[in-house]
């Protein structure tokens, strides 16, 4: 997510690029994981005390609307965001809740039934796998 390109897109959309929004963009530019809005807020509030959780949510929504990030819903209580918008899938550890990217194309193996192919033009798809990562298994965190 190149920050200079985002600045231009923000400007074209008429969004004011405040110091708080710029801090969020810088954070996301370096982020390799799948942070929640709360993760971003907690990471930035020490160095950017005027930031609010609402600003984080609003900025993330604007970036999502521009196609710069993707929302990943792993539980209804907390949304996570992925800065890699190229097509990919995810696997989530059900113990530690870490999210990992899977860069493989499953589109050939997951055909829509004819009734839906006639009614929809698919623009994106996401497969989410759930399991227990080796780290959690080795710690004995696996619930039976």
Query: What pLDDT was estimated at residue 85?
Result: 73
Query: What pLDDT was estimated at residue 94?
Result: 83
Domain that holds residue 68: 3-82
Q: Cα 139 to chain center, whole Å?
A: 27
Is residue 68 domain-shared with residue 12, that is, in the same domain? yes
**Could you give the CA distance from residue 143 to residue 136 in angstroms, rounded to a whole number?**
10
Q: CATH number of the domain that 95 lies in?
A: 3.30.1490.190
**Final residue in a domain of this structure, among 62, 82, 102:** 82
pTM of the model as a whole? 0.60
DSSP state of 111: P
Is residue 16 domain-shared with residue 74, that is, in the same domain? yes
Query: What pLDDT was estimated at residue 45?
Result: 94
In a domain, 144, yes or no: no
Instruction: Name every residue whose Cβ is closer than 8 Å to that of residue 126 and which is 6 or more positions away in sequence.
Output: 70, 72, 89, 90
Is residue 12 domain-shared with residue 78, that is, in the same domain? yes
Is residue 62 domain-shared with residue 17, that is, in the same domain? yes
Query: What pLDDT was estimated at residue 105?
Result: 76
What is the total count of domains within the chain? 2
**Final residue in a domain of this structure, among 35, 61, 82:** 82
Residue of 25, 20, 66, 28 whose CA lies nearest to 45: 20
Query: What pLDDT was estimated at residue 51?
Result: 95
- Residue pLDDT tens, the chain, 144 long: 567 777 777 777 777 788 999 999 889 888 878 888 999 999 999 999 999 999 999 999 988 888 888 887 766 676 777 777 777 888 888 888 888 888 887 766 777 888 888 898 877 777 888 889 999 988 875 554
Query: What pLDDT was estimated at residue 107?
Result: 67
Q: CATH number of the domain that 55 lies in?
A: 1.10.10.10
Query: What pLDDT was estimated at residue 144?
Result: 42
Query: What pLDDT was estimated at residue 17?
Result: 82
Is residue 61 domain-shared with residue 16, that is, in the same domain? yes
Is residue 105 domain-shared with residue 51, that is, in the same domain? no
Query: What pLDDT was estimated at residue 1?
Result: 58
Is residue 76 domain-shared with residue 94, that is, in the same domain? no
């Amino acid at each position: 997510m190149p920050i200079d390109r985002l600045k231009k897109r923000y400007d074209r959309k008429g969004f004011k690029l405040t110091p708080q929004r710029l801090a969020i963009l810088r954070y996301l530019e370096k982020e390799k994981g799948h942070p929640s809005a709360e993760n971003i807020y907690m990471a930035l509030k020490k160095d950017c005390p005027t930031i609010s959780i609402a600003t984080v949510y609003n900025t993330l929504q604007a970036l999502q609307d521009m196609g710069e990030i993707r929302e990943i819903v792993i539980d209804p209580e907390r949304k996570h965001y992925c800065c890699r918008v190229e097509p990919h899938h995810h696997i989530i550890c059900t113990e530690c809740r870490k999210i990992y990217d899977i860069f493989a194309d499953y589109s050939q193996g997951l055909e829509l039934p004819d009734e839906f192919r006639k009614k929809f033009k698919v623009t994106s798809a996401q497969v989410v796998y759930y399991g227990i990562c080796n780290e959690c298994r080795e710690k004995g965190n696996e619930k039976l």
